[in-house]
Structure 1
Amino acid sequence: MDELDLMANADSRGLRYLEGNTTRRVFPSDEAIAALSAFDGSLPTQGLPPEDTLAMLDDIGSPATTASNGPRYFGFVIGAALPVAAAAERIMLAWDQCASTFDNSPVSATIERIASRWVLDALDLPRESAVGFGTSATACTLAALTAARRSLLARQGWDFDRLGLIGSPDIKVVVSELVHITVKKALRILGFGLDRIIYAPVDAYGRIDAERLPVLDDSTILCLQAGEVNTGEFDPFAQIMPRAKDAGAWVHVDGAFGLWARASSLAPLTEGVELADSWTTDAHKWLNTPYDCAMAICREAQALAGAMNSDAVYSSASADAQKNLTLEFSRRPRGIPVWAALRTLGRRGVAELVERHSDQATRIGAGLVHAGYEVLNRIVLNQIVFRCATDAQTQAIRSAVQASGEVWFGGTIWQGRPALRISVSSWRTTDHDVQLLVHLLTKLYAANHETDV
């Protein structure tokens, strides 16, 4: 089988997979998972036919996938890939460009530069900001927080690049009590020390309590949230930002999914977020691009470019080259699916996506209350946190839902007790899917209650 036939074979299998998005189990069966043992062989001495390799991936691998690219996967903020974004990736893979610099790939550099401008426009963030297209919120947070520490040290006359951290002035970090694990991971990797992080108390909704905000100064990195991972809440930026700016602190906003509210009628939830120094967000969440697509955004472009610079004698480039804005030197042009999604959706399409999911989340919450569940958050965005009267009932509902194969979502801990969490973020999720979810949960609640009685 030659190269073109092999690609056509893969495309044909991929299309068949997509056709089953609405009918396959949302989580694979035990039998499909057990069948994965077929992959566990020894490295072949002689290579095997490529068409056999594709067949194995499809015939054994496809049944063991979660249907996160379908309409009824509510486990995390995982957006199904928009057709145009997935199709753009197919062309991008055919190009096989190393998108480090313009010299490596003029088309990649050009499109990613335009995508950067469009992202800032859609999110209404300072237009002079730098945008680095990285692999994930974790990688992009690493880049942003490195730029933050380097900049704060420079203001105190310390050359981080030459002198490193030994003997440097102390930089403290203030985060929410409910800070996302990816921010904690980035801080740990950067050597801040988890026991040295200062945690800001939160209110009943999971937002930093502005009245109890720890003392800030010009040696502080303050991390805020646009979209708390359980409740979807936003820290009170309008109250906190002026105080942080007056103190000379660097403010970073973790906006993995919530920052996209700014591109819709829900923008008032983000009032004041534009005053931050850096932001991270994922395109592979609410913008519904394929995975491996996130952004580090930095108001002071040179701060990010200086921190991430990777110029070499054989490969130098402009400050806004993506290799000088991200952790990766050799990289794929992951800004291309962002450009494709934004061009195809347009400003109104992005807004409609966010607003539709917010409306669906509200309807799910109302349906859960009607069924007898306790909804624990005020539904401001796309997240619903709920539980039953007892922890045992909550766990039983979770197990029943996951075993059903009809929908999938997981659990969490909220205010010290087990809870269930639904996220709505797939472009494929219709009102019919929402009704199916509520109907299933209503039926399970009734059955669970009858058992207890």
Structure 2
Amino acid sequence: MDARGLRAPATASVGFVTGGQLANFTCLAAARHSVLAGAGWDIAEQGFHGSPPLRFVVGSHRHGSIDRAARFLGIGRAGLTIVPTDSQGRMSPEALDQALVGAEGPLIVCLQAGEVHTGAFDDFAALIPLARRHGAWIHVDGAFGLWAAASPGLSHLTAGMADADSWATDAHKTLNVPYDCGMAIVRDPADSIAAFRTGGDYLIYSGLDPWDVTPELSRRARGVPAWAALRSLGRSGIADLIDRLHANAVAMAAGLRTVESVEVINDVDYTQVMFRLGSDEATRALGAAILVDGTAAMTGAEWEGRAALRCSMSSWATTPEDIVRTVEAIRGLVAAGSPAG
């Protein structure tokens, strides 16, 4: 399993960083350097002040780490072009096409593999060619969803994703390694080198070095846990892990639909299940009761202005029996507290 297994070219640079936040930042720093260079501006030499205006295009249901990475790069909220999404958080191709009408100059478009609440994937096959026609750098935030590419049964979710310029993921999520194992993948290593390579006559270059593709010099060997997991599981093991997480999500959603007053509010395409009761108050009360009960842990969320509960299937240790126990615990809590309100 290498970068090709995640639908990225084998020649791409892969930098290991702290997590998904820094993976997005690292990829977008390379993107900023590249698109400004294409407009005749050398940010390493001239800095960002006075550079050609940079358009930064995102979906309305992007993860907060995208905005934060943009802020680190000197792009505030007022500098974002926000494209509407559908009911699951997928960017609309028609809306993107409209947003890019007349687009000139440096352009970065951020897409998403796995919306954090619904698990939805953007339609890369439709969106990437649209963005490419305008000369955009296309980045994919795939903190947990990028791994769908490794499953023959789920890889259709990532169709067209290989045509992007950079991809971010976090191995601690789907791959189940410890924290501090984000991955910033950039199609052309020259873009990483241009953004990050530093000088120093005591630094011995041996090709593509770690400090060429990430913001850090001093760092531990973050890639070892990911390598160990990939080496141990292999392609078939990774695919099996992804398929089991998805099967657990499907079973969880099916079980919740049998519980009176519970509404599953997302299409369970991947590993996320989001549900609610009839009112915000009842939904929040159920979430608190689930945590006190202790059978399972899930987080409160907000979707389209309403309270929801979010269940993310991410642990290799979760079994079908765990799903049954969780659904029955929720059924009992709903019945006992009558929180449907």
Shorter-chain TM-score range: over 0.9
Do 1:143 and 1:308's aligned partners in 2 also have CA atoms closer than 8 Å?
no
Q: How much identity, in percent, do the aligned residues show?
A: 43
Partner of 1:219: 106
Do 1:311 and 1:317's aligned partners in 2 also have CA atoms closer than 8 Å?
no
Q: Structure 1: how far apart are the matches of 2:332 and 2:160?
A: 43
2:270 is equivalent to residue 270 of structure 1:
no
SS in 1 for 2:224: helix
Which has more helix, going by share of residues?
1
Partner of 2:72: 189
Q: CA deviation at 1:319?
A: 4.6
Partner of 1:203: 86
2:224 is equivalent to residue 336 of structure 1:
yes
Partner of 1:177: 60
SS in 2 for 1:232: coil
SS in 1 for 2:257: helix
Q: Structure 2: how far apart are the matches of 1:401 and 1:311?
A: 54
Q: CA deviation at 1:231?
A: 0.2
Once the two structures are superposed, residues 214-253 of structure 1 have per-residue CA deviations (whole angstroms, 9 ceiling, x without a partner) of: 1144511000000001000011111011111111100000
Do 2:334 and 2:340's aligned partners in 1 also have CA atoms closer than 8 Å?
no
Do 2:52 and 2:105's aligned partners in 1 also have CA atoms closer than 8 Å?
no
Q: CA deviation at 1:446?
A: 1.4
Q: Structure 1: how far apart are the matches of 2:43 and 2:323?
A: 51
TM-score (norm 1): 0.72
Question: Larger radius of gyration, structure 1 or 2?
Answer: 1
**Equivalent AA in structure 2 for residue 184 of structure 1:** D
Segments of 5+ residues of structure 2 without an aligned counterpart are: none
Do 1:305 and 1:319's aligned partners in 2 also have CA atoms closer than 8 Å?
no
TM-score (norm 2): 0.95
Map 1:341-420 → 2, pairs under 5 A:
341-372=229-260, 373-420=262-309
Partner of 2:323: 434
Q: CA deviation at 1:452?
A: 6.8
Number of matched residues?
335
**Equivalent AA in structure 2 for residue 331 of structure 1:** R
SS in 2 for 1:371: coil
Q: Structure 1: how far apart are the matches of 2:192 and 2:105?
A: 19
Q: Structure 2: how far apart are the matches of 1:289 and 1:320?
A: 25
Structure number with greater CO (CA < 8 Å, separation at least 6) is 1
RMSD across aligned positions (CA): 1.3
Q: CA deviation at 1:125?
A: 1.4
Partner of 1:322: 210
2:31 is equivalent to residue 148 of structure 1:
yes
Question: Post-superposition, which runs of at least 4 consecutive aligned residues in structure 1 deviate over 4 A?
Answer: none
Which has more strand, going by share of residues?
2
Q: Structure 2: how far apart are the matches of 1:190 and 1:316?
A: 29
SS in 2 for 1:251: strand
Map 1:24-423 → 2, pairs under 5 A:
118-213=1-96, 214-215=99-100, 216-264=103-151, 265-372=153-260, 373-423=262-312
Segments of 5+ residues of structure 1 without an aligned counterpart are: 1-117
**Equivalent AA in structure 2 for residue 332 of structure 1:** R
Once the two structures are superposed, residues 311-350 of structure 1 have per-residue CA deviations (whole angstroms, 9 ceiling, x without a partner) of: 3111131451112111110111111111110111010000
Do 2:8 and 2:162's aligned partners in 1 also have CA atoms closer than 8 Å?
yes
Q: Structure 2: how far apart are the matches of 1:233 and 1:173?
A: 21
